[in-house]
A = this chain, B = another copy of it.
Amino acid sequence: MEGVRHVFYVSDGTGITAETIGHSLLTQFNGIEFATRRIAFVDSLEKAESAVAEIRAAELASGLRPVVVNTVVDPDLNALLAASGALMLDAFEPFISPLERELGQKRQSRVGRAHGLVDFAAYEQRINATNYALTHDDGMDVHYDDADVILVGVSRSGKTPTCLYLALHYGVKAANYPLTIEDLEGRELPRRLRKHRSKLFGLTIDPVRLQQIRQERRPNSRYANLETCRAEVIAAEAMFRQENIPVLSTTHTSIEEISGKVLAQLGIHRHMF
């Protein structure tokens, strides 16, 4: 792996914070081949030593100094990691002093606590929302009184993963309704959606991309035919326009971004879990 820049996300917890910030940083540099690796639950000298060994081996293999994005709180473990010789980026360190001054309090440095304890009420909200998404997926259950959001779009436009993401990360009850050929030929909003108009959000997608996705699912079917895809997308977009439903194309948008935009557009303010 000569010439590859190794990046390690090292944490005493899951490593999600380190990986999130590290990934955001790396996308700001172009044309460099990065090899990234998360090393989670580094909460003992043995685990820190094994991480150091891995970091050193990567440097030997690539000939380039590795980068470590680090959220380990324990100073002894941090000293050990720093001895690896990698460029150490401590994801918390720059912010702790200003926060301590502002809040008039010293940080509590407990290993593995960076993500906080599990809050039963929050957990329940996520689980209930996930169950809701599962039972209200793909038009299965169309009683939407409890829904926070109803995603509407043609089959394979990205509704299901967005609903699950909204449930898992925001505890939002998200249902989704697939526009069928009959719905689209009717040229108006299906009756059962009408009374929930304020919760509706339309997803659309480039027909060529849709065709690729459907082709993988049901090769050479009428369903996966480019003309079918094009006709469905045109009819769905016309319906969204006519009914004044906010709409977003998922073609070049990540699940995270779709979810963020749906919540912003519908004015739903929820914390992320």
Contact = CB atoms under 8 A, between A and B. Distances in A.
Interface in A90-110: 91-92, 94-96, 98-99, 102-103, 105, 107-109
Contacts of A40: 260-261, 263-264
Interface in A121-177: 123-124, 126-127, 130-131, 134, 137, 158, 160-161, 164-165, 168
Contacts of A67: 99, 102
Given A103-B32, A130-B160, A256-B14, A23 B116 contact: yes
A194 interface: no
Contact of A255 (B73, B103, B126, B161): B126
B160 A92 contact: no
A121 to B, nearest CB: 12
A221 interface: no
A254 B118 contact: yes
Nearest to A35: B271
A19 interface: yes
Copy tally for this chain in the complex stands at 2
Contacts of A21: 17, 20-21, 91, 95
Interface centre among A21, A91, A117 (most CB of B within 10 A): A21
A3 to B, nearest CB: 13
B126 A161 contact: yes
Interface string A228-245: 000000000000000000
A20 B260 contact: no
Given A115-B24, A117-B252, A260 B87 contact: no
Contacts of A263: 40
A158 to B, nearest CB: 8
A257 to B, nearest CB: 5
Given A27-B114, A40-B264, A255-B273, 4 more contacts: A29-B105, A29-B107, A89-B95, A117-B252
- Counting from the closest, the 7 A-B pairs by CB-CB distance are A14-B260, A94-B94, A27-B116, A28-B107, A20-B20, A24-B114, A17-B24
29 contacts: A13-B260, A16-B20, A17-B20, A17-B24, A20-B21, A21-B21, A24-B115, A28-B96, A28-B108, A28-B114, A29-B99, A29-B103, A31-B105, A32-B103, A40-B260, A40-B264, A41-B261, A41-B264, A87-B98, A94-B94, A117-B252, A118-B252, A118-B253, A124-B216, A127-B158, A127-B161, A130-B160, A164-B164, A255-B273
